[in-house]
């Protein structure tokens, strides 16, 4: 029986991106069947190739971020390099780029030119501040987007400066919005008979869109959400606690019925039956007392016993997972969240699994991030270039 076609099979995506936001967006497309051609500079390619932990000179992150993609090297400052890109885009469905606004326009590859070349093209533009506004020409990495979008301000403890999350979350959130926007634009194109359009994603706006009730709380009450460490005022109890063996556990018992079961499970029927604690507002008013109770209880037991009691009482809880914890966890394994792959020299290694899970047309990882220019001959042959022409382009510095 033949495997079902992936949901994005038949779509051609061209990526003009480096590092995180653009490449992550195109990676998602590639995992679900799109033909993704990643354009890289012949002079070293995407800097991500050299980020974080390297294996024989190449980033392990690269092998994941560029999986299922084809690498084509183009010198976009060279006339022939630009012509090759135009030929690709003339038949592409989506262009994903994360240059600073104005860079493509200076190369003669702005939206007006590309839209005239291919009216059906959807152009996803990921940048620090978007394609308009007074900040548009400023450089803006994910850390800047997280800062301006509100995330950094509320992250950390109240008596210390703001802290970052442990990953480049702003870039990744922007990538998700970019893919959502692209799929919306494709829906409009295919179902409503529309043309291609620009999907303009600013990193700070991508983060800002996740800030829950921050805007109305300030506008209506003048309330500014501050850093509160591991607790969230107004939602009690929900925090991280430490067991007697020094392990950390997240406990979320802020539902009314859940809280009652939790208190009964730890032998505090007095709190379970206290009418003042029957709803969230009452619990939040006494949160210091409650967190003291939970801290003392969790701190008297080893982590596994804490989790056993909480699971038995149906109280949402989890150890704070490290990568080591994940590798042996039955839920991760049952959901195939570690894929087996091989590095270029044949060494086996694990990659993160595919998200989301589609029941009929699941995504997959077919190959790891390619060598620089690995697909030059294949892609250029598909555009009609002969072996001799490819050799001439390389000799002339166009590829």
Token pair for 397: 């510095």
Task: Give the model's pLDDT for residue 5.
Answer: 87
Answer yes or no: is pLDDT of 336 > 90.
yes
User: What pLDDT digit, counting tens, does each position of 11-32 carry?
Assistant: 999 999 899 999 999 999 999 9
Could you please report the per-residue DSSP string of 232-258?
A: BTTB-SEEEEE-TTS-EEEEE--SHHH
Q: Partners of 205 in the beta sheet?
A: none
Residue whose C-alpha is closest to residue 21's, from 177, 137, 146: 177
**Predicted local confidence at residue 52, as pLDDT:** 94
| 311-327 mean pLDDT | 97
Taking the C-alpha atoms of residue 114 and residue 120, their distance in angstroms, rounded to an integer, is 10
Catalytic-labelled residue, pool 93, 171, 200, 284: 171
Q: In 3D, which of 72, 70, 62, 69 has the Cα closest to residue 349?
A: 62
Q: What is the mean pLDDT of residues 142-162?
A: 95
Among candidate residues 124, 106, 109, 117, the one with its CA nearest the CA of residue 14: 124
4 pLDDT exceeds 90?
no
Q: What three-state secondary structure class fits 346?
A: coil
Predicted confidence at residue 2, as pLDDT, reads 66
74-98 pLDDT, tens per residue? Answer: 999 999 999 999 999 999 999 999 9
Local structure of 322: helix, strand or coil: coil
Least Cα distance to 34 among 61, 56, 15 occurs for 15
Give the mean pLDDT of the chain. Answer: 96
The contacts of residue 105 (CB under 8 Å, 6+ apart) are none
HSE-up (13 A, CA, CB side) for residue 283: 29
Instruction: Give pLDDT tens digits for 343-395.
Output: 999 999 999 999 999 999 999 999 999 999 999 999 999 999 999 999 999 99
Decide: 178 and 131 in contact? Cβ < 8 Å.
no
Q: What is the pLDDT of residue 200?
A: 98
- The yes-or-no verdict on residue 47 having pLDDT over 80 is yes
The predicted pLDDT at position 337 comes to 98
Percent of the chain with pLDDT over 90: 97
Would residue 35 show up in a list of annotated catalytic residues for this protein? no
pLDDT at 224: 96
Is 183 in contact with 108 (CB distance < 8 Å)?
no
Report which of 264, 236, 272, 267 is spatially closest to residue 251, judged by C-alpha positions.
Answer: 236
Q: Cα dist. 224→16, 110, 221 in Å? A: 39, 40, 9
Q: Is the pLDDT of residue 255 over 60?
A: yes
Kindly list the structural domains of the chain, giving each domain's residue range(s) and its CATH number in brackets, ordered by start.
12-210+336-395 (3.40.50.10540), 238-319 (3.30.1540.10)
pLDDT at 235: 93
Cα–Cα distance for residue pair 136/128, rounded to 1 Å:
7
Whether residue 129 is predicted with pLDDT greater than 70 in this model: the reply is: yes
């Amino acid at each position: 029986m033949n495997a079902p076609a992936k949901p994005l099979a038949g779509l051609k995506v061209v990526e003009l991106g480096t590092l995180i936001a653009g490449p992550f967006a195109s990676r998602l497309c590639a995992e679900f069947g799109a033909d993704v051609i990643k354009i890289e500079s012949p002079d070293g390619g995407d800097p991500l190739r050299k980020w974080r932990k390297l294996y024989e000179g190449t980033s392990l992150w690269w092998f994941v971020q560029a999986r299922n993609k084809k690498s084509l090297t183009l010198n976009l400052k060279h006339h022939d390099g630009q012509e090759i890109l135009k030929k690709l885009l003339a038949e592409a469905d989506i262009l994903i780029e994360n240059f600073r606004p104005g860079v493509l326009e200076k190369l003669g590859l702005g939206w007006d030119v590309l839209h005239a070349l291919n009216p059906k093209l959807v152009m996803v533009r990921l940048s620090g501040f978007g394609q308009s506004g007074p900040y548009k020409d400023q450089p803006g990495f994910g850390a800047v987007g997280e800062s301006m979008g509100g995330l950094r301000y509320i992250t950390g403890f109240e008596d210390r400066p703001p802290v970052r999350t442990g990953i480049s979350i702003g870039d990744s959130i922007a990538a998700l919005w970019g893919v959502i926007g692209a799929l919306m634009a494709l829906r409009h194109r295919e179902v409503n008979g529309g043309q291609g359009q620009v999907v303009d994603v600013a990193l700070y706006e991508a983060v800002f869109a996740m800030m829950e009730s921050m805007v109305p709380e300030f506008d209506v009450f003048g309330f500014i959400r501050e850093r509160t460490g591991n607790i969230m005022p107004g939602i009690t109890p929900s925090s991280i606690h430490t067991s007697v063996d020094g392990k950390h556990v997240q406990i979320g018992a802020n539902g009314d019925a859940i809280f009652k079961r939790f208190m009964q499970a730890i032998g505090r029927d007095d709190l379970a039956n206290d009418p003042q604690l029957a709803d969230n507002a009452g619990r939040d008013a006494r949160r210091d007392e409650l967190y003291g109770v939970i801290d003392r209880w969790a701190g008297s037991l080893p982590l596994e016993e804490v989790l056993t009691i909480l699971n038995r009482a149906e109280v949402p809880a989890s150890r704070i997972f490290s990568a080591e914890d994940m590798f042996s966890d039955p839920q991760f394994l049952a959901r195939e969240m570690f894929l087996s792959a091989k590095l270029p020299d044949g060494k086996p290694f694990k990659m993160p699994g595919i998200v989301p899970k589609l029941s009929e047309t699941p995504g997959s990882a077919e190959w790891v991030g390619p060598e620089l220019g690995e697909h030059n001959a294949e892609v250029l042959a598909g555009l009609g270039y002969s072996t001799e022409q490819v050799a001439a382009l390389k000799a002339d510095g166009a590829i």
